[in-house]
Structure 1
Amino acid sequence: MSSFIQIPEDAPFSADQRVWLGQFLSNLLAGAAAAAPQASGPAVPVTILWGSQTGNSEGLAKKLVKSLKKGNFEPEVFDMGAYDRGRLPQEKNLLIITSTYGDGEPPDNAAELYNFLLSDSAPRMEGVQFSVLALGDTNYPDFCKCGIDFDNRLEQLGASRFFQRIDSDVDYDGPFKQWSDGVLSVLAPAGAASGNGAAAVVEQAETGYSKKNPFPSGIVANYNLNGAGEKQTHHVSLSLDGSGLEYEVGDALGVYPLNPADVVDELMAALPFNTNTSVPLPDGGEAPLREALISSYDIGNLNKSLIQKWQARSGSPFLRSLVEADDKKAWDDFCWGRDLIDLVIDHPADFTDAEDFVGTLKKLQPRLYSIASSPKAHPGEVHLCVGIVRYNTYGRKRGGICSTFLSDRSNGLKPGVFVHSNKAFRLPENGETPVIMVGPGTGIAPFRAFLEERKISGAKGGNWLFFGNPYQATDFLYSEELTAFQKDGTLQRLDLAWSRDQKEKIYVQNLMVQQGAELWKWFQDGAAFYVCGDASRMAKDVDAALHTVAEQHGGLSKEDAAAWVNQLKKDKRYLRDVY
């Protein structure tokens, strides 16, 4: 078997060039054996582990399995939460595909394996070959941290990296192909089918509407769910008529926004080159600069990668010190509350032309929203519950690109949409299973869908919802619907936390602890537990409350309570849709 030649990081090549060159030299040194037809021998074992919060890593893992099955490989694919970690030292070829979410945390299904590998209990892994594909988002400071940690730890434990880790930004199709092609090119001399040479990832052409080909959806309803005040949460109904798109409760809807035209015009007026020109688009083709900035490029987020590129073209002493210091807190402080317009105005940079300028920018990405409707209750439609983000920083009014697009700038337009399947957030197959739902703020979205689905399907299991927001008078989202669900028996319990209606702040996690005895009883009756909303605070506090309930009302020690919660996750009885 050939081994991958790693080009030193200080070599005068980009990361992509180092990967390509390493792959080329590896194949070249393998000589004629790699190019000639290979005799069929014993199938090469390959184990793929995926860690995923919303399903992207799972989808890529399954795509890779299909490719491996075309060659002389024996692939196995596992959800990390269902994988027997005792197998680790015996693995031959281990492939890890994992995302990162929250503050650099592993996905829920990867957490137990992640914590085990990083502990002193982890086994030595000499003889194991591995490679890692890390999914992430450069808008977050801990970009791809989970995948990076897996990669580093496996090496520390003695495993051999046979193909270097690739870190993918939100657009993962290209990096996945680069990684999978590289992995297969190394494994292929031993695992290719006779006469096939190196196995190749076969991209099946997508048909119909999808992320790459979004459906132009008409908005059929769009109104504020809040009462009088500054807070805005919009109920948005979109038509799927003629799209062929189907979804299940628990799925998300991807929405492609447009950037504000007035901000784009301000940008163009401040740019130091002729803006009356066309530029390449991220997915091919070209368009006038103004149109491209409105529809295709991200002008609303600053991140480390962009600032590094910008600093190289700017004479700003401040940006230079920021880049050279490379301090996480300094990065966070500078990027928070600033957009591209701040760089253009406060830290001018030199660009050859418009193409050079857009070359520093990321593609404008779709936003994923938890679907707030059951397709059985609203045929031909999909509903969203969207918190409208508005704030003032550094003397400028700002807002969420997609939320303000839907609330302020979508009149007469048809947003491009697609369905993002989330198999990790499904209702129990058995309708008699009780369901406990915790969804403050816009976290109510999937649970409105759950309740509609449970009602129409005639599910007999009890339903219990914890909902919270600042003020009951103005922030009781879907109050009439929830009250109706109570009256018709669909919703057995509704616990409400209004954090600002009294001197002492009350949140959903406080109500969980208060109702701990009854909660524990529901769990003993087999209830499934769902959480939707903010990952960094609410979801962590809810998790802590769950441990407290197990200790106080289950009589468990801290260690046993933690084991009980982990078992809930393994049994798919503790599911989270957090962001």
Structure 2
Amino acid sequence: MSSFIQIPEDAPFSTEQRAWLGQFLSNLLAGAASAAAAPAGPAVPVTILWGSQTGNAEGLAKKLVKTLKKGNFEPEVFDMAAYDKGRLPQEKNLLVITSTYGDGEPPDNAAELYNWLLSDAPPRLEGVQFSVLALGDTNYPDFCKCGIDFDTRLAQLGASRLFNRIDSDVDYDDPFKQWSDGIVGLLAPAGAPSSNGAAVEQVETGYSKKNPFPSPIVQNFNLNGPGEKQTHHVALSLEGSGLDYEVGDALGVYPQNPPSVVDEILAALPFNTKVTVPLPDGGEVSLRDALISNYDIGTLNKSLIQKWQARSGSPFLRSLVQADDKKAWDDFCWGRDLIDLVLDYPADFTDAEDFVATLKKLQPRLYSIASSPKAHPGEVHLCVGIVRYDTFGRKRGGICSTFLSDRANGVQPGVFVHSNKAFRLPENGDTPVIMVGPGTGIAPFRAFLEERKATGAKGPNWLFFGNPHSKSDFLYGEELTAFQKDGTLQKLDLAWSRDQKEKVYVQNLMVQHGAELWKWFQDGAAFYVCGDASRMAKDVDAALHTIAEQHGGLSKDDAAAWVNQLKKDKRYLRDVY
């Protein structure tokens, strides 16, 4: 038997990761033949729980199950909403994969388990081993909060960490591999060959997030009437891509940064900028091209400012980093981009490669798909609100929205389909459907109505839509009116918040029509919400509770239980951001 290989303590790994890597290398050197000949032992039980708003965590959980089935493991995987929490104290090895959305909130399917776990109700969990993979986005202040809360609470209840929590930014492939490989290595029965994730990973073919399809734009126009507001209808061709989508899915779009801003940054940098630099995924291009197409220059976050401060010598940035105050971080990052750091807090970089090493990869933006493939074969449609604003004396805008509206002429954006199984129409076409989608939240519901019409679904449809002004902001107004005339859309309620003295929103109309909505629910209606998570979706949820109390005669607790049951039954689905 080979001696155990010690990984140096200053290696960039946690204690558990060093132990696993040492064991892995020792087994490797001992020879595959002896490992294969050793008795495998009993299968190791593993329970995987996922909390997912858009499908990423669910996809990773199912990927992990496939990896575990290649080895001597007995995996079970559960949607958190369907998990029997009574079995929690009996779990041997518990793996949690969860995202965070909104203001640090759990995904809808994780909310009940999350709230229960953080209450005084759960029992002690001594004897349970666990590990958490948290998905998040460092551009949001409560980065990975849901996963952090699961990890902290499980430990407080006496469970022991099998493997340290890993917090993953938007690019989660490498952190997931590090986490899953580490867990598999630690859990593999002694003497049994562990099923290393890399050994079983399928080679990806075709167009995907890693290999986006260059999609020609076939339509691109403003849906709003006269005024400052812009909401673009963008139709892209999928001909020849092999990409398929279903209504409820999202389209990932890779944007480009404004060349004018990139040129301003280059002019202010204190080193030779006419050089090539490495790209986040390998290869190299000119610094200018890299800043236009590959690196994020449109957002500031805590990690970037910490790296910048170390090179800038700015007393203000030093005080910001040392204070580590959440409100101060939020106040400073709001309305500022990379150009502000470059001009206002000059930093010393060794060279261009050192400079891009501080930046994040430019990420794709996900847009709810606004079309049915049955109504528009070979195309995919988006409804994009164009974000423009002035801060600190500069005109700014959303990177992807202004790319599509201002800079995409003659460009073929890289796109991919992001499946969202958590936002699907009912399988039974007779089911009544209620949709709440103000502003660009109309997108998936235009697709739903096209799909219901194309499939001949008999169930009635009810749409709540809202925007500031009826004359300029009735997105897809002609199409919605046509759906009413041909019988596809039975009820259309419109909330124009600024057309009268009293502001009216979709949630107000829901409460006004509470009696009829309650009847639709009693008839088995499915309820869908799309749009802003922080305000609108919370207000709509509160309206739903009010309707259950006023027209169902339920107490507050019973109304909450009814709403939770709707979620469990997949009759209350949200696509919120």
TM-score normalised according to structure 1 size:
0.96
In the alignment, the residues of structure 2 paired with residue 162 and residue 319 of structure 1 have an alpha-carbon distance, to the nearest angstrom, of 37
Q: Give the superposition deviation at 1:500.
A: 0.4
Which residue in the other structure is 2:160 paired with?
160
Amino acid aligned to 2:215:
S
In the alignment, the residues of structure 2 paired with residue 401 and residue 408 of structure 1 have an alpha-carbon distance, to the nearest angstrom, of 10
Matches within 5 A, 1:107-506: 107-190=107-190, 192=192, 196-197=193-194, 199-201=196-198, 202-506=200-504
Which residue in the other structure is 1:24 paired with?
21
1:36 has 2:35 as partner: yes
Contact 1:313-1:350 at 8 Å conserved across structures:
yes
Contact 2:40-2:189 at 8 Å conserved across structures:
no
What do the CA deviations read for 1:418-448 (whole angstroms, capped 9, x no partner)?
0000000000000000000000000000000
Which residue in the other structure is 2:529 paired with?
531
Matches within 5 A, 1:52-131: 52-131=52-131
Most deviating of 363-372 and 197-206: 197-206
Structure 1 unaligned runs (5+)? 1-6
Contact 1:72-1:191 at 8 Å conserved across structures:
no
Amino acid aligned to 2:21:
F
Contact 1:95-1:132 at 8 Å conserved across structures:
yes
Q: Please state whether the residue corresponding to 2:533 is helix, strand or coil.
A: coil
Amino acid aligned to 2:148:
I
Q: Please state whether the residue corresponding to 2:188 is helix, strand or coil.
A: helix
Amino acid aligned to 1:387:
G
Contact 2:247-2:372 at 8 Å conserved across structures:
yes
Instruction: Go from structure 1 to structure 2 and tell me whether the alpha carbon gap of 1:385 and 1:19 turns closer, same or farther (over 3 Å shift).
Output: farther
Q: Give the superposition deviation at 1:212.
A: 0.4
Amino acid aligned to 2:398:
G
Q: Give the superposition deviation at 1:189.
A: 2.7
Amino acid aligned to 2:554:
L
Q: Give the superposition deviation at 1:23.
A: 2.8
In the alignment, the residues of structure 2 paired with residue 191 and residue 477 of structure 1 have an alpha-carbon distance, to the nearest angstrom, of 63
Q: Please state whether the residue corresponding to 1:75 is helix, strand or coil.
A: strand
Contact 2:41-2:189 at 8 Å conserved across structures:
no
Contact 1:135-1:172 at 8 Å conserved across structures:
yes
Which residue in the other structure is 1:47 paired with?
47
Contact 2:225-2:471 at 8 Å conserved across structures:
yes
In the alignment, the residues of structure 1 paired with residue 76 and residue 31 of structure 2 have an alpha-carbon distance, to the nearest angstrom, of 26
Q: Give the superposition deviation at 1:168.
A: 0.5
Contact 1:33-1:189 at 8 Å conserved across structures:
no
Instruction: Go from structure 1 to structure 2 and tell me whether the alpha carbon gap of 1:190 and 1:541 turns closer, same or farther (over 3 Å shift).
Output: farther
Q: Give the superposition deviation at 1:414.
A: 0.4
In the alignment, the residues of structure 1 paired with residue 546 and residue 23 of structure 2 have an alpha-carbon distance, to the nearest angstrom, of 54
Q: Give the superposition deviation at 1:203.
A: 1.8
Q: Give the superposition deviation at 1:40.
A: 2.7
Q: Please state whether the residue corresponding to 1:512 is helix, strand or coil.
A: helix
Q: Give the superposition deviation at 1:42.
A: 1.8
In the alignment, the residues of structure 1 paired with residue 520 and residue 400 of structure 2 have an alpha-carbon distance, to the nearest angstrom, of 38
Q: Give the superposition deviation at 1:36.
A: 3.2
Q: Give the superposition deviation at 1:479.
A: 0.4
In the alignment, the residues of structure 1 paired with residue 195 and residue 53 of structure 2 have an alpha-carbon distance, to the nearest angstrom, of 32
Q: Please state whether the residue corresponding to 1:307 is helix, strand or coil.
A: helix
Structure 2 unaligned runs (5+)? 1-6
In the alignment, the residues of structure 2 paired with residue 386 and residue 277 of structure 1 have an alpha-carbon distance, to the nearest angstrom, of 35
In the alignment, the residues of structure 1 paired with residue 169 and residue 212 of structure 2 have an alpha-carbon distance, to the nearest angstrom, of 20
Q: Give the superposition deviation at 1:33.
A: 12
Q: Please state whether the residue corresponding to 1:501 is helix, strand or coil.
A: coil
What do the CA deviations read for 1:481-515 (whole angstroms, capped 9, x no partner)?
00000011110100000000011111000000010
- Identity, % of aligned positions: 84
Amino acid aligned to 1:112:
E
In the alignment, the residues of structure 2 paired with residue 302 and residue 482 of structure 1 have an alpha-carbon distance, to the nearest angstrom, of 39
In the alignment, the residues of structure 1 paired with residue 517 and residue 85 of structure 2 have an alpha-carbon distance, to the nearest angstrom, of 32
In the alignment, the residues of structure 2 paired with residue 123 and residue 509 of structure 1 have an alpha-carbon distance, to the nearest angstrom, of 38
Amino acid aligned to 2:20:
Q
In the alignment, the residues of structure 2 paired with residue 225 and residue 232 of structure 1 have an alpha-carbon distance, to the nearest angstrom, of 7
Instruction: Go from structure 1 to structure 2 and tell me whether the alpha carbon gap of 1:480 and 1:354 turns closer, same or farther (over 3 Å shift).
Output: same
In the alignment, the residues of structure 1 paired with residue 397 and residue 16 of structure 2 have an alpha-carbon distance, to the nearest angstrom, of 39
Amino acid aligned to 2:35:
A
What do the CA deviations read for 1:277-307 (whole angstroms, capped 9, x no partner)?
1100000000010000001000000001111
Q: Give the superposition deviation at 1:17.
A: 6.2
Across the aligned residues of Structure 1 and Structure 2, the Cα RMSD in angstroms comes to 1.9
In the alignment, the residues of structure 2 paired with residue 559 and residue 17 of structure 1 have an alpha-carbon distance, to the nearest angstrom, of 44
Q: Please state whether the residue corresponding to 1:313 is helix, strand or coil.
A: helix
Amino acid aligned to 2:501:
K
1:577 has 2:575 as partner: yes
Most deviating of 305-314 and 443-452: 305-314
Contact 1:275-1:354 at 8 Å conserved across structures:
yes
Q: Please state whether the residue corresponding to 1:36 is helix, strand or coil.
A: helix
Contact 1:44-1:191 at 8 Å conserved across structures:
no
In the alignment, the residues of structure 2 paired with residue 408 and residue 561 of structure 1 have an alpha-carbon distance, to the nearest angstrom, of 47
Q: Please state whether the residue corresponding to 2:204 is helix, strand or coil.
A: coil
Q: Give the superposition deviation at 1:18.
A: 5.7
What do the CA deviations read for 1:68-115 (whole angstroms, capped 9, x no partner)?
001111100010011111110000110000000011100000000100
Q: Give the superposition deviation at 1:43.
A: 1.2
Amino acid aligned to 2:197:
A
In the alignment, the residues of structure 1 paired with residue 477 and residue 109 of structure 2 have an alpha-carbon distance, to the nearest angstrom, of 33
Contact 1:117-1:153 at 8 Å conserved across structures:
yes
Which residue in the other structure is 2:560 paired with?
562
Most deviating of 38-47 and 75-84: 38-47
